[in-house]
Structure 1
């Protein structure tokens, strides 16, 4: 009887401690909300392009150093990594935010609207945080401040990853998560689990959406060079027309999706985004160049689609007497959420947003280079809503557009989520 009473008292003490911890997190996240919004709006007004996040990195590094967090700069060109060692032994948990903006001109009339321009591939372009990375940085800065204030209660180590170039490095440069991983961000100390979030303009502010297994698509880029025979536009029979052949290839690629792929297993997208050919209206040119993207949510389907694209382009070209050369560049892996990790950590998200505001989402054909961290440790990536309450998701301005907009009043929910994940993962790892 005494043993049972002792066990019950121990369980009750642990339960009270967990409740107190959760209350502390909620209170601290609420208290830092005003600063979080201030940081986010400053970053929104001062965006920087991929691999050029110099001032953003300095802003982040100064904040982390002020908190007494060990800081490493210049990782993967402009990345910042912070290391917070807790007061107790335990696992290493990584939290990631991406920092780069996009070459987009902002159209939303805000007091903190971006007026920034920068050089991109030899051109002067407007720059905007048109995908919400400013909110990701601010959320992780706030998370670092909250966790630093609870350092003695943390079991293990927290690694804060502020990553450049998620949107892709310019030209032939290396960058983004692949370079972060290559330079050892998931080692020294070795990460046991990695978490990340992405704001979403079509999900109500303060809500969380997640999915176990494949969540976001791989992103591959392709080029198809079609070589024909040049002739005068008035005598097409003397030509091998690469434009007509290219158009037939575009149509043929769509049958891979509509007639050859089992989309019951997982979605497939093939989009031709560029078609270049010719210099004059009365000349049938010698060459045409097609460029596009492939999105898949299954690695086996990814390889199968690649083979079908090559075969389709080459055979259509051969039938026309032309030649097609296909090149496929794998850019981003499938963002895959470790099923066991998701099942364990969903309660942490529910504590942050509320069980009624935390739900499973559908697949997304957009891509995220967060996927590369998942090759080194169990990973869990989720969405945080940023749509003003009462708005229609179907009318929400899309990401990567001039009208992109988020309600930043409930970004603190992301802070609560990250903090709960850190504490809960350590507790579950100890069992």
Structure 2
């Protein structure tokens, strides 16, 4: 995710309290016989699951640089009998396993990239890696749980291979690079995988994804219908004034005053121009740069920030109003302004309501876990692009040990992010139950 993945402050409290949980529903015919296999075999795989995660954590790789990780995954999948296509969107993998019986195609996604973060967790497998990012050498760490996501899907892949004769459909695995975006707004990740044919051939009927979250305790699976993560759009604002001496502002045009008014004007868009009862939005200016001396009014000012929304129409409207607001405020002060949005923005991740209702009972059946409805998160996720092509369901897997306050845990993207490794088994079982239940229920329809 692009920003620190931290759900609303009440997330852990909601999970611990009486969150809405659907009544238990009978298992789909043909899937129930696989549940003991999922529980037993996933437990048997757990030591290797943890070892994979630690190995990947110790050797993190940034977006489009995940060559070691990709090679590790490819070797594992080929040993299990998967058809593997490498170098999709630079370092991505698409792997297919046809079950013993015909049925729907279920896609499962894991993101592989790490972040330019210096690790501060004292574990034997801590990262000491460095790499070049946007022309600079940086420290690298898996600070968002993607190492766990890869290990989870590798273990789930092994489960499916072991259950191949009983599988009532096809599994398509998507090991995705560059979820955390790339320098200079380069298009990568999910969008590039789709552009390079990730959904071609065996086109998925549905796609499932998950994300480890320190905002929930281990054993909690968080889900909701509709928007679950926000769109993520970075923007820059350029303000043009006219330089003059700081003692004679009337002899020039002050871009700092204009820029300040633009920042305040942006806030009225979110608070006064959109229907806040429909969906919330967040508009943040994070940088403001101008000037070189205290007694010089500069020629220009530059700002940047992020926009988060959950509705495409609202997203488009706010973008339009931001540029109009900046231009008109600048004009009123005798200057000029322009708002530019990076082309690599992410849409909101929207869980298909019908699919969510259909699979909620499956989440409840995951051994050793409890499924709860959680609030939407303001973080962004490019899983959204997969879910725009076919119905999708994205869930959060709690990763803070039971008994610890998840609201006080180090958030995703922190240099001290340290997920509970017991959460990995919950992730494997979650993907397995969603897959076999969807396949079986599709057969019954």
Q: Is this contact kept in 2: 1:207–1:353, CA < 8 A?
A: no
What's the CA shift for 1:31? 1.1
What's the CA shift for 1:206? 2.0
- Residue 59 of structure 1: which of 57, 65, 72 is its match? 72
- Is the aligned partner of 1:186 residue 2:199? yes
Unaligned residue ranges in structure 2 (runs of 5+): 1-25
In 2, Cα distance between the equivalents of 1:372 and 1:14?
29
* Residue of structure 1 equivalent to 2:145: 132
- Residue 238 of structure 1: which of 244, 251, 255 is its match? 251
> When the two structures are superposed, what TM-score results if normalisation uses the length of structure 2?
0.91
- Is the aligned partner of 1:346 residue 2:360? yes
- Is the aligned partner of 1:160 residue 2:183? no
* Residue of structure 2 equivalent to 1:420: 433
Larger of the two Rg values belongs to structure: 1
Going from structure 1 to structure 2, the CA distance change for 1:253 and 1:321 (only over 3 Å counts) comes to same
Residues 271-323 of structure 1, C-alpha deviation per residue, up to 9 Å, x if partnerless? 11121222333221101111111000111111221122112211111111111
Going from structure 1 to structure 2, the CA distance change for 1:174 and 1:306 (only over 3 Å counts) comes to closer
* Residue of structure 2 equivalent to 1:205: 218
In 2, Cα distance between the equivalents of 1:262 and 1:65?
51
* Residue of structure 1 equivalent to 2:14: none
What's the CA shift for 1:259? 2.6
- Residue 315 of structure 2: which of 288, 291, 302 is its match? 302
In 1, Cα distance between the equivalents of 2:94 and 2:347?
23
* Residue of structure 1 equivalent to 2:6: none
* Greater relative contact order, per chain length (Cα 8 Å cut-off, separation 6+): 2
* Residue of structure 2 equivalent to 1:332: 346
Q: Is this contact kept in 2: 1:130–1:400, CA < 8 A?
A: yes
Q: Is this contact kept in 1: 2:190–2:386, CA < 8 A?
A: yes
* Residue of structure 2 equivalent to 1:171: 184
In 1, Cα distance between the equivalents of 2:28 and 2:354?
24
In 2, Cα distance between the equivalents of 1:263 and 1:109?
43
Q: Is this contact kept in 2: 1:208–1:353, CA < 8 A?
A: no
Q: Is this contact kept in 2: 1:29–1:413, CA < 8 A?
A: no
In 2, Cα distance between the equivalents of 1:103 and 1:379?
29
Structure 2 SS opposite 1:42? helix
* Residue of structure 1 equivalent to 2:83: 70
What's the CA shift for 1:409? 1.6
- Is the aligned partner of 1:289 residue 2:313? no
Residues 5-40 of structure 1, C-alpha deviation per residue, up to 9 Å, x if partnerless? xxxxxxx9986x643311111111111111111111
Going from structure 1 to structure 2, the CA distance change for 1:359 and 1:179 (only over 3 Å counts) comes to same
How many residue pairs end up in the alignment? 418
Structure 1 SS opposite 2:198? coil
What's the CA shift for 1:172? 4.9
* Residue of structure 2 equivalent to 1:253: 266
Going from structure 1 to structure 2, the CA distance change for 1:72 and 1:13 (only over 3 Å counts) comes to closer
* Residue of structure 2 equivalent to 1:5: none
Residues 18-73 of structure 1, C-alpha deviation per residue, up to 9 Å, x if partnerless? 43311111111111111111111111111000111111111111111111111111
Unaligned residue ranges in structure 1 (runs of 5+): 1-11
Structure 1 segments, 4+ long, off by >6 Å, are none
